[in-house]
Structure 1
């Protein structure tokens, strides 16, 4: 049996190695070196990797930009089954990782939602930042809705709009560990 181990690590490369590395376990519950208790989820039926464009600023007038507040909204649309978020990453316009938002897999209950605020949007270079989200589920589920929500309320003007996430890869069925 193959498990993907997600733990909190000091170094991003160590975290990524732990995520993609395999670990054979005979038990459903383990304690990691950081004393984080994890629970194995053994049967993964479906999952996806989703790209969500984020616009930390937009152009207005000639060569001027307007800074926006940007957030990611993830909504589980399934009426009966949870989904499991295995990775939420924010990238700058050059494709460089800015922030990893979760250190271990997180369960999102039926009809629940969660939001993540994009960090450092005022310092973001260009307008092409993005989130990459990976999720899985133990049963076939309605796919979640993932949207970028951008807004600004500068002076007396208000602007808001959304961007829709797109599936860029279907996940292969693997096992994951949930942190408790």
Structure 2
């Protein structure tokens, strides 16, 4: 009986310590594979969107902050047409362009989403960070949707919130 219990315990330990299967089967698209075949966007509907994001936010007083992980979600809301993202520039609180995420135009198929992740320890953007996206669509019916989710957890305290992009009219 004792041997059976020991054997069961050993089997339990080994199965509990086994490799975790990846539960996230829908992987993020490889941006290299998303390179747009279109070179000239004349005749397309061109747009620009501003998206506020936060590297950190203040709490209690100005010298105490929560650093945040940011997920920027770029969504094609059209069920029939592709959308093209021409630029994704990241600016800090004082308006300096600190990073360009897209080196060449990419396409998103109908209902496709791509993401940009800014890790919690990357606080270069500051409390007033933002993105400017340049994009193109075949028509003006369904412009892309830009959202950001910011999250942080410390101990038993956590917070999360979202922002949504605003189309810039020039």
Instruction: Quote the Cα distance in structure 1 between the aligned partners of 2:91 and 2:98.
Output: 5
Q: What is aligned with 2:143?
A: 143
Structure 1 residues 24-54: Cα deviation after superposition (integer angstroms, max 9, x where no partner)? xxxxxxxxxxxx9964355533121100001
Q: What is aligned with 1:110?
A: 110
Pairing of 1:24-43 with structure 2 (within 5 A): 39-41=38-40
Which structure is larger by alpha-carbon Rg, 1 or 2?
2
Indicate whether 1:51 and 2:50 are aligned: yes
Q: Determine which structure has the larger strand proportion and give its number.
A: 1
Higher relative CO (Cα under 8 Å, sequence separation at least 6) belongs to 1
User: Structure 1 length as normaliser, TM-score?
Assistant: 0.67
Q: What is aligned with 1:89?
A: 89
Q: What is aligned with 1:17?
A: none
Instruction: Quote the Cα distance in structure 1 between the aligned partners of 2:153 and 2:162.
Output: 15
Question: Unaligned 5+ residue runs, structure 1?
Answer: 1-35, 171-180
Q: What is aligned with 1:73?
A: 73
TM superposition outliers: structure 1 runs of 4+ over 6 Å: none
Instruction: Quote the Cα distance in structure 2 between the aligned partners of 1:74 and 1:81.
Output: 15
User: Structure 2 length as normaliser, TM-score?
Assistant: 0.71
Report if the CA contact (8 A) 2:36-2:84 is conserved: no
**SS of corresponding position for 1:78:** coil
**SS of corresponding position for 1:94:** coil
Report if the CA contact (8 A) 2:45-2:137 is conserved: yes
**SS of corresponding position for 2:169:** strand
Instruction: Quote the Cα distance in structure 1 between the aligned partners of 2:104 and 2:43.
Output: 16
Question: Unaligned 5+ residue runs, structure 2?
Answer: 1-34
- Paired positions, count: 135
CA RMSD in angstroms comes to 2.3
Instruction: Quote the Cα distance in structure 2 between the aligned partners of 1:76 and 1:37.
Output: 14
Q: Determine which structure has the larger helix proportion and give its number.
A: 2
Instruction: Quote the Cα distance in structure 2 between the aligned partners of 1:42 and 1:74.
Output: 19
